[in-house]
Amino acid sequence: MTAFDIDIKGRAGSFAIDAAFRAELGVTAIFGASGAGKSTLLKMIAGTARPSSGRIVVAGKTLYDSVSGIDLPPERRGIGFVFQDARLFPHLSVRKNLTYARWAGRRPASRPFGEVVSLLGLENRLDSDPATLSGGERQRVAIGRALLADPSLLLMDEPLSSLDKARRREILPYLEAIRTETGIPVLYVSHETAEIARLADTVVVLEDGRVIDSGPAATVLARLSLATGGDTEEAATLIEGRVTAVDPAYQTATVALDGGSIELTGTGFNAGTIVRLRVRATDVAIATQPHDGLSIRNQLSCRIDELRREGAHAMVVLDLGGQRLIARITAKSADALELAPGGRAIALLKAVSVEMARVEQSTRRPL
Amino acid sequence: MSEAEISIILLSAKVAFVAIACALLPAFAIAWLLARKRFAGRGLLQALVTLPLVLPPVATGYGLLILFGTKGPLGRFFDSLFGLEFAFRWTGAALAAGVMAFPLLVRPIRLSLEAIDQGYAEAARTLGASRLVVFLTVTLPLALPGIIAGAVLGFAKALGEFGATITFVSNIPGQTQTLSLAIYALLQTPSGDAAAMRLILLAIALALLAIIASELLARKLTRDRP
């Protein structure tokens, strides 16, 4: 089922927006730099900004269609919006904020209140004044408030960007829980590839109001990493695998990948869990043959797809049984090891540097 | 307290209360227009609303006399349509007090409306609330402290109004003689100093009571909300 189908033209300040994309269920991330038109796009979908022409269809319902003159007001679009700055009503308690869509918006109570409250861990804050909440709690209330509005689509406009690193880590599991437990399609705007890697099934890349790339998260993020090779911190790839064994004593999990198997740290995973790994290009080392006597236990045999030189550095694009891995090494090393496309190489992964997240359903598509 | 003193205080309270009760709604409407809308003549409206604050009160009173007197165009209009007379009546005193207090009502309400982040209204709309419901459940409660501040300030001004009142409706005991007018009248009589002092002390007591009451009200309405 198509969750939403969007094709709109309009203006956002000084530049034009001309974006068309559609998505299935799951989380669709809109990625783009600040000022790429991401927020304006969300406002147009929510109905608080008006496109100049186009069509917006969500869950089979036409919200906007310039040809047939349909333009539903925001309150009748059945959309949940989580804003960057939470926007909790300061004169209402947490409970009244959460239930606002029911008592003021007359939206149906299709989702049990207690279920949302426990999903977001807000049991103890219901009677609090929003001003007394921490940044993370505030954002959780904002998410709950949107969920309780019975939305057929949840829009999230950089919900983590106003939070510090620790708070982000606090919220991410809740966002993952929404994806896996509510089944509500999510349109998630962000300029953080790390967040997108963890949450998104589909990625749409927006630049100056236009869609320049879209597709399955792993594919688009790998292309993005190569395109933004200069941005060394962020270059990373996503690979998916299945947990085959766990070692509670060492708190490690063995993950089977298409091209081998690796051991990573992490708890709360069971055998059979499908996980998504985010591997930064700077955390992958390369060897031409297997090594003993190393602290790095994960050694994966890959084929070299591509070698890109960027000054003192080289980006080595590796093929691991169909999934992609990128290593960022020095140009000197690449020459010393005589790496070349088509050849074999061993990718060395430090277990502690890989981020692992659970996914409910595999979203992998062939690359 | 003598009977005369009690009737003076009751009259003053009635005049000020009616003045603010009648002025509050139009003051809110104009504050809302000034805070939210951009339209031709906005600057003129703003100047007009501020006028009673900067004009000599006697001039405002004279203007009211010309407009709302028995022969004035608005005076005849209200008399023939609603049987409402202003000249030399307590209703005229209330009108004068309301006009003089008007700018003091508008300003805090406008400031509080301007201070409300429009993002709250946007959020409320996406949660299913229509414009009217957003106004009732978000805008109005958030503007409440400003409305209370304006009403208290306006009430104080209405209670003590002198110049416009005496010019418009004169100083008639039992009809238009409010507290300040009574104090003024007593100070004009050779042996009235002691009686004037009693009224002044009463005025002080009344003012303190009003301040405490409004503080309590403001606290009740703004602090207990969540």
C-alpha triplet B66, B72, B75: angle, nearest 5°: 115
Query: Mean pLDDT throughout A276-287?
Result: 85
Q: What is the pLDDT of residue B131?
A: 93
Residue B222 pLDDT class (50, 70, 90 cuts): low
Give the pairing type, strands A274-280 and A284-287.
unpaired
Token pair of B161, please?
Answer: 């109004």
Nearest to B7 by CA among B184, B202, B211: B202
Complex ipTM:
0.80
Cα four-point dihedral sign B56, B60, B61, B62: positive
Q: What is the DSSP string of B3-33?
A: HHHHHHHHHHHHHHHHHHHHHHHHHHHHHHH
Residue A43 pLDDT class (50, 70, 90 cuts): very high
Q: What is the DSSP string of A286-333?
A: EESS--SS-S--EEEEEEEEEEEEETTEEEEEEEETTEEEEEEEEHHH
Smallest Cα distance from B126 to chain A, Å: 5
Q: What is the pLDDT of residue A363?
A: 47
Q: In the predicted model, is pLDDT for residue A230 greater than 60?
A: no
A145 contact B CB<8A: yes
Considering only alpha carbons, which residue of chain A is nearest residue B125? A75
Q: In the predicted model, is pLDDT for residue A138 greater than 80?
A: yes
Smallest Cα distance from B39 to chain A, Å: 21
Name the DSSP class of A149.
Answer: T
Query: Mean pLDDT throughout A14-33?
Result: 87
Residues of B in contact with A73 (CB under 8 A): 125, 130
Largest CA distance in chain B: 70
Q: In the predicted model, is pLDDT for residue A228 greater than 50?
A: yes
Residues of A in contact with B141 (CB under 8 A): 91
User: A160 with A127: CB under 8 angstroms?
Assistant: no
Residue-wise over A56-83: b if at least 16 C-beta within 10 A, else e?
bbbbeeebbbbeeeeebebbebbbbbbb
Q: In the predicted model, is pLDDT for residue B144 greater than 80?
A: yes
Query: Mean pLDDT throughout A128-152?
Result: 93
Residue A364 pLDDT class (50, 70, 90 cuts): very low
Name residue B117's amino acid. Answer: D
User: A241 with A275: CB under 8 angstroms?
Assistant: yes
Q: Which residue has the tokens 């008006």?
A: A50
Cβ–Cβ of A100/B127 closer than 8 Å? yes
Token pair of B217, please?
Answer: 């009200």
CA distances from B149 to A92, A129, B16 (A): 21, 23, 15
Question: For chain B, what is the mean pLDDT?
Answer: 90
- Which of A80, A81, A104 faces B129 most closely, judged by CB atoms? A104
Considering only alpha carbons, which residue of chain A is nearest residue B137? A104
Give kind and range of the element (H or E) at residue A8. strand A2-12
Higher pLDDT pick, A7 / A183? A7
Query: Mean pLDDT throughout B185-201?
Result: 91
Nearest to A4 by CA among A209, A151, A206: A151
Residues A118-129: tens digit of each pLDDT: 888 899 999 999
Q: CA torsion A325→A330→A336→A342, rounded to 10°?
A: 30
Residues of A in contact with B142 (CB under 8 A): 90-91
Q: In the predicted model, is pLDDT for residue B104 greater than 90?
A: yes
Considering only alpha carbons, which residue of chain B is nearest residue A44? B126
Contact partners, residue A349, CB within 8 Å, separation at least 6: A262, A279, A283, A284, A296, A298, A299, A300
Q: In the predicted model, is pLDDT for residue A96 greater than 70?
A: yes
Contact partners, residue B124, CB within 8 Å, separation at least 6: A89, A100, A104, A105, B133, B134, B137, B138
Q: How many whole angstroms separate alpha carbon A217 and alpha carbon A199?
A: 9
Q: What is the pLDDT of residue B165?
A: 94
Among residues of chain A, what percentage have pLDDT more than 70? 95
Q: What is the pLDDT of residue B121?
A: 94
Residues of B in contact with A76 (CB under 8 A): 128
Residues A197-212: tens digit of each pLDDT: 888 989 999 888 889 8
Considering only alpha carbons, which residue of chain B is nearest residue A49? B122
In chain B, % helix, strand, coil (3-state, to 5) comes to: 80, 0, 20
- The answer to whether the predicted template modeling score (pTM) of the entire model surpasses 0.80 is no
Q: In the predicted model, is pLDDT for residue A233 greater than 80?
A: no
Q: What is the DSSP string of B46-103?
A: HHHHHHHHHS-HHHHHHHHHHHHSTTSHHHHHHHHHH----TTSHHHHHHHHHHHHHH
Query: Mean pLDDT throughout B142-154?
Result: 90
| Mean pLDDT lowest among A310-324, B37-51, B155-169 | A310-324
Token pair of A350, please?
Answer: 């430090």
Residues of B in contact with A94 (CB under 8 A): 226
Residue B102 pLDDT class (50, 70, 90 cuts): very high
User: A100: number of CA atoms within 13 Å, CB side?
Assistant: 34
What is the CB neighbour count within 10 angstroms for residue A275? 20
Q: What is the pLDDT of residue A220?
A: 86
Residues B41-100: tens digit of each pLDDT: 999 999 999 999 999 999 999 999 999 988 889 988 998 888 888 988 999 999 999 999
Mutating which of B125, B127, B130 best tests the A interface, going by the most A Cβ atoms within 10 A? B127
Smallest Cα distance from A101 to chain B, Å: 5
Question: For chain A, what is the mean pLDDT?
Answer: 85
Number of H helices, E strands in chain B: 11, 0
Token pair of B68, please?
Answer: 């709302």
Chain A to chain B, count of Cβ pairs less than 8 Å apart? Answer: 78
Residues A299-316: tens digit of each pLDDT: 888 888 888 888 888 888
Cβ–Cβ of B137/A47 closer than 8 Å? no
Cβ–Cβ of B129/A47 closer than 8 Å? no
Q: What is the pLDDT of residue A256?
A: 87
Q: What is the pLDDT of residue B226?
A: 45
Higher pLDDT pick, A272 / A130? A130
What is the CB neighbour count within 10 angstroms for residue A249? 6
Q: In the predicted model, is pLDDT for residue A359 greater than 80?
A: no
C-alpha triplet B71, B72, B74: angle, nearest 5°: 130
Q: What is the pLDDT of residue A227?
A: 66
Among residues of chain A, what percentage have pLDDT more than 90? 31
Helix locations, A31-190, DSSP H: 38-46, 94-98, 100-103, 113-119, 135-147, 165-181
B223 contact A CB<8A: no
Residues of B in contact with A45 (CB under 8 A): none
Give kind and range of the element (H or E) at residue B121. helix B118-126
**Helix/strand/coil (H, E, C) string of A90-105?**
CCCCHHHHHCHHHHCC
Which range among A214-218, A325-329, B26-30, B173-177 has the greatest average pLDDT? Answer: B26-30
Q: What is the pLDDT of residue A217?
A: 86
Give the pairing type, strands A61-65 and A53-58.
antiparallel
Q: Which residue has the tokens 């022969």?
A: B71
Cα four-point dihedral sign B186, B189, B190, B191: negative
Query: Mean pLDDT throughout B145-168?
Result: 91
Q: What is the pLDDT of residue B71?
A: 87
Q: What is the pLDDT of residue A93?
A: 94
| Mean pLDDT lowest among A101-105, A190-194, A335-339, A363-367 | A363-367
Smallest Cα distance from A131 to chain B, Å: 10
Residues A74-86: tens digit of each pLDDT: 999 999 999 999 9
Q: In the predicted model, is pLDDT for residue A240 greater than 70?
A: yes
What is the CB neighbour count within 10 angstroms for residue B14? 14
